[in-house]
């Protein structure tokens, strides 16, 4: 009894709660980022001009004398997202089965209990594991080529770079992981709970499913659009998109040090 009293008087650590809050915060930021990122990428569905306008605007091309924008912004954004991505992954690993035996116990529990929330957590764990590798490849690609956010260069990565399968797998994992995560955050922190918690949960479940379908559709259509563009551009892989601006006009406006970069004009746009 004495030992129990001494143990009970010890001050409990707040570290687990703080780590849990950090995991929720990074997950929320990454989830909202995924929403915006997929919308921006999905602009390719409406044509090369729209995608070029969106990416150029994000790179502040309207402030650039040459109209090319500032790829350093992409580098900075990728750096921030990478830090959040790694931090979130490390925090999530605290609750991930760290051995095959634990994994089997967890898988058996999912089957036996047949509990939807447990299944969703398991889906998050599996997709998170896949994303750690597939997402790292994508982030490294953007790190190495921050100025390659371009209709043709992006399509070349999909087709000529044979990355379509990686992007397809990453799309499914990201959409499921992010939207299930945002749904679970709403339940965990009581967001949008309203007066009737059960009714609110059903509404959140319906909204979650619709958002997943919406972003999967946008993502698949986007990859398909990039594939079609990349197949038509396969013979000129590496050349950039300029829309209606001719390469001669661009070379005149470009600084001499950048004049060596191969560009291609698209007179059909």
Q: Which CATH number fits the domain that encloses residue 185?
A: 1.20.1300.10
Cβ-in-10-Å burial (0-12, 13-18, 19+) of 233 comes to buried
Q: Is residue 266 part of a domain?
A: no
**Residue 72 located in a structural domain:** yes
Domain of residue 59, residue span: 17-238
Domain count, the chain: 1
User: Does residue 13 register a pLDDT over 80?
Assistant: yes
The kind and range of the H/E element at 26 are helix 15-42
pLDDT in tens, 212-246: 999 999 999 999 999 999 999 999 988 988 764 33
* Inside any domain, residue 199: yes
257 belongs to a structural domain: no
Domain annotation covers residue 116: yes
pLDDT, one tens digit per residue, over 48-66 is 999 999 988 888 877 777 6
Strand (E) or helix (H) holding 241: strand 240-241
Domain annotation covers residue 5: no
pLDDT of residue 177: 97
Q: 258 lies in a domain?
A: no
Examine residue 253 and state whether it is found in any structural domain, yes or no.
no
The pTM score is 0.82
């Amino acid at each position: 009894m004495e030992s129990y009293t001494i143990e009970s008087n010890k001050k409990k650590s707040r570290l687990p709660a703080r780590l849990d809050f950090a995991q929720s915060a990074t997950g929320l930021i990454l989830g909202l980022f995924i929403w915006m990122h997929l919308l921006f990428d999905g602009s390719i569905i409406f044509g090369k001009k729209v995608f070029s306008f969106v990416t150029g605007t994000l790179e502040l091309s309207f402030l650039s004398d040459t109209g090319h924008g500032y790829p350093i912004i992409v580098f900075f954004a990728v750096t921030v997202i990478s830090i959040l991505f790694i931090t979130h992954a490390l925090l999530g690993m605290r609750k991930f089965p760290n051995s095959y035996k634990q994994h089997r116990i967890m898988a058996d529990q999912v089957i036996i209990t047949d509990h939807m929330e447990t299944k969703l957590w398991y889906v998050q764990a599996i997709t998170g594991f896949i994303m750690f590798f597939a997402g790292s490849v994508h982030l490294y690609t953007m790190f190495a080529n921050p100025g390659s956010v371009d209709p043709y260069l992006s399509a070349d990565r999909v087709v000529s770079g044979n990355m379509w399968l990686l992007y397809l797998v990453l799309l499914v994992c990201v959409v499921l992981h992010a939207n299930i995560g945002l749904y679970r955050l709403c339940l965990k922190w009581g967001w949008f709970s309203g007066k009737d918690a059960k009714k609110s949960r059903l509404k959140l479940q319906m909204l979650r499913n619709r958002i997943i379908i919406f972003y999967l559709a946008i993502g698949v259509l986007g990859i398909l659009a990039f594939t079609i563009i990349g197949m038509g551009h396969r013979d000129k892989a590496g050349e950039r998109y300029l829309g209606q601006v001719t390469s001669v006009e661009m070379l005149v406006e470009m600084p001499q040090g950048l004049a060596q970069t191969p560009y291609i004009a698209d007179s059909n746009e």
